[in-house]
């Protein structure tokens, strides 16, 4: 059966034009005028854009003594309802655990996924086994490796491990990723705040100031440069981190920054709310920041110094958040956003004139597909690409509320916000996956998207080389003084 989408306006990361889209066998078969198909979708008054890609989610993640509440079933349902057709989650080995075992564990979680997904592999410890298994992980289509510079005592890796892993990734032609916060200093500041009697959610924000993020981002960039590996900095939340990324990019380093929709829309005044539940529900790392940091992130999206808007979707219930009553370090870190990412970015970005529709497409889909090396299979409206499309009604409006959301959580940090710009329909590989408020794609429709390593493109312009004969190199670089 063929499907044709008629009378819509196609918006890609670079073009806006009117044409029909013909879909056959799950891919885009033709784009042009007067196309015919067995099934006709009317997109009058709507935009046809690449389905969103959320490059950063944590579904059913074991974390801080519990599991994030959305699994691959409810999480991918939320994704489709919000116009997102692919999520990239994290396989997370426990320290000492085989990467292949962790991948098997995470792959088993995806049986009921409604939309496509891929994985990043987390490097939570270092040793010969990890070094060896990274090659097989890459061969299986997982070419990005995430490192936590925070969460001391559990997920955190130290600089020597970071450097070793980055060098290995460079050899494999992969992408290094970091959660950039200085975990030693966060641990120190948390302990001090608790000792001083600060136990509420505001302590979480004060224990992780922007400096700890700026420092770690700078450090990761320098280590990546020495290792000759491209670097993706997840949840860039503040000017200090953004500034480091901007400077690196200007000097020719391949570094990408990822702001979250939460940091773009919500600020740190949330932590001073008198209701403990309200503030605790918004505890995540990095925490929400002041308005000047939001302005920096928005500017970065428009200027291209920041690349992909993600969610870090890691939802918990109020009951789970209450594990941290009396001790903010025990509040599970994380917030949701999968269903709301695209409507919020449209509302606060395109709706205010801060972003063009094409910049919106780049930030929500195409840039992620390119950086993660699955473009143009994903992230494109082009002949031969997967028919992962969102039919976007720029005039549709709703008030965000937990009572109507797909997420399994009992709250929504964006509760009460009115968004204008919503998916009317979401297609996943040509299947109508969401329409008229209902998720229609079958459980198990979602498929794993393997990604290729790309050693030619993924080379940083490192100025530093590990050499076998440093004296000879130094001599060659010295001016001819006869020394």
**Binding residues for ligand DUC, per CB under 6 A?**
58, 179, 284-285, 312, 314, 333-334
- H-only helix segments in 173-290: 183-195, 201-206, 210-227, 239-250, 261-265, 276-281
CB of 102 to ligand DUC, least distance (A): 16
Closer Cβ to Zn ion, 267 or 443, answer by number: 443
Sheet of strand 16-18: strand arrangement? 16-18, 9-11, 47-50, 389-399, 418-428, 431-435, 438-439
Q: Is 70 in the site for Zn ion (CB under 5 A)?
A: no
CB of 324 to ligand DUC, least distance (A): 13
CB of 284 to ligand DUC, least distance (A): 3
CB of 258 to ligand DUC, least distance (A): 12
Closer Cβ to Zn ion, 5 or 205, answer by number: 205
Residue 268 binding target from ligand DUC, Zn ion, none, CB below 5 to 8 Å by type: none
Q: Phi/psi zone of residue 227: left (φ > 0), alpha (ψ -120 to 50 degrees), beta?
A: alpha
Residue 284 binding target from Zn ion, ligand DUC, none, CB below 5 to 8 Å by type: ligand DUC
CB of 69 to Zn ion, least distance (A): 15
Straight-line distance from the first to the last Cα atom of the chain, in angstroms, rounded to the nearest whole number = 77
Specify whether the CB–CB gap between 57 and 261 falls below 8 A. no
CA atoms within 13 A on the CB side of 406: 24
Segment near Zn ion (CB under 5 A); pick from 13-21, 22-30, 151-159, 311-319: 311-319
Closer Cβ to ligand DUC, 183 or 446, answer by number: 183
Residue 378 binding target from ligand DUC, Zn ion, none, CB below 5 to 8 Å by type: none
Q: What per-residue string of b and e applies to 167-197 under the rule 16 or more CB within 10 Å gives b?
A: bbbbbbbbbbbbbbbbbebbbebbeebbeee
Segment near Zn ion (CB under 5 A); pick from 179-187, 205-213, 270-278, 319-327: 179-187
Q: Is 312 in the site for Zn ion (CB under 5 A)?
A: yes
Of 40, 42, 115, nearest to 83 (Cα)? 115
What is the distance between the alpha carbons of residues 378 and 112, in angstroms, rounded to a whole number?
21
Closer Cβ to Zn ion, 190 or 347, answer by number: 190
Residue 443 binding target from Zn ion, ligand DUC, none, CB below 5 to 8 Å by type: Zn ion
Of 414, 173, 152, nearest to 278 (Cα)? 414
CB of 318 to ligand DUC, least distance (A): 16
Residue 334 binding target from Zn ion, ligand DUC, none, CB below 5 to 8 Å by type: ligand DUC
Of 304, 476, 468, 317, nearest to 407 (Cα)? 317
Specify whether the CB–CB gap between 269 and 294 falls below 8 A. no
Closer Cβ to ligand DUC, 179 or 254, answer by number: 179
Q: Is 313 in the site for Zn ion (CB under 5 A)?
A: no
What is the distance between the alpha carbons of residues 227 and 245, in angstroms, rounded to a whole number?
17
Segment near Zn ion (CB under 5 A); pick from 69-77, 221-229, 362-370, 375-383: 69-77
DSSP state of 192: H
Query: What are the two backbone dihedrals, phi and then psi, of residue 180, each rounded to the nearest 5 degrees?
Result: -100, 95
Closer Cβ to ligand DUC, 232 or 434, answer by number: 232
Closer Cβ to Zn ion, 188 or 443, answer by number: 443
Please identify which residue in 13, 179, 249, 254 interacts with Zn ion, judged by CB under 5 A.
179
Footprint of Zn ion (CB under 5 A): 73, 179, 312, 443
């Amino acid at each position: 059966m063929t499907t044709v989408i008629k009378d819509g306006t196609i918006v890609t990361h670079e073009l806006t034009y009117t044409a029909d889209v013909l879909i056959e066998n799950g891919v885009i078969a033709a784009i042009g005028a007067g196309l015919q198909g067995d099934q006709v979708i009317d997109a009058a008054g709507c935009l046809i854009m690449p389905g969103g890609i959320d490059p950063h989610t944590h579904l059913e993640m074991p974390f801080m003594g519990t599991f994030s509440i959305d699994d691959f079933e409810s999480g991918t349902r939320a994704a489709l309802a919000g116009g997102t057709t692919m999520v990239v989650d994290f396989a997370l080995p426990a320290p000492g655990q085989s990467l292949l075992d962790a991948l098997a564990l995470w792959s088993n979680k995806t049986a009921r996924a409604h939309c496509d997904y891929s994985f990043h592999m987390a490097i939570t410890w270092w040793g010969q086994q990890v070094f060896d298994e990274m090659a097989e992980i890459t061969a299986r289509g997982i070419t990005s490796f995430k490192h936590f510079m925070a969460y001391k005592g559990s997920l955190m890796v130290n600089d020597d491990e970071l450097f070793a892993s980055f060098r290995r990734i460079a050899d494999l032609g992969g992408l290094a990723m970091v959660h950039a916060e200085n975990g030693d200093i966060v641990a120190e500041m948390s302990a001090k705040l608790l000792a001083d009697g600060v136990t509420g959610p505001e302590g979480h924000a004060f224990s992780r100031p922007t400096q700890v993020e700026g420092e770690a981002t700078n450090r990761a960039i320098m280590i990546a440069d020495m290792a000759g590996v491209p670097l993706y900095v997840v949840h860039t939340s503040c000017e200090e981190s953004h500034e480091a990324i901007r400077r690196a990019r200007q000097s020719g380093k391949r570094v990408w920054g990822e702001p979250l929709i939460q940091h773009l829309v919500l600020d740190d005044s949330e932590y001073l709310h008198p209701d403990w539940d309200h503030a605790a529900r918004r505890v995540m790392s990095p925490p929400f920041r002041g308005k000047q940091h939001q302005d920096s992130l928005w500017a970065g999206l428009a200027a291209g110094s920041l690349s992909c808007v993600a969610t870090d979707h890691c939802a918990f219930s109020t009951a789970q958040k209450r594990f941290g009553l009396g001790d903010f370090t025990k509040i599970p870190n994380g917030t949701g956003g999968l269903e709301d990412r695209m409507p919020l970015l449209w509302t606060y970005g395109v709706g205010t004139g801060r972003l063009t529709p094409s910049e919106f497409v780049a930030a929500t889909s195409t840039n992620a597909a390119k950086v993660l090396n699955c473009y143009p299979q994903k992230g494109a409206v082009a002949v031969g690409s997967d028919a992962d499309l969102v039919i976007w009604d720029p005039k549709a409006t709703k008030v965000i509320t937990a009572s109507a959301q797909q997420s399994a959580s009992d709250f929504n940090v964006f509760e009460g916000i009115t968004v204008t710009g919503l998916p009317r329909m979401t297609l996943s590989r040509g299947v109508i996956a969401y329409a008229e408020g209902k998720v229609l794609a079958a459980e198990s429709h979602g498929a794993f998207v393997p990604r290729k390593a790309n050693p030619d493109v993924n080379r940083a312009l490192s100025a530093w080389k590990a050499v076998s004969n440093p004296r000879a190199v130094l001599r060659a670089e010295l001016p001819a003084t006869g020394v």
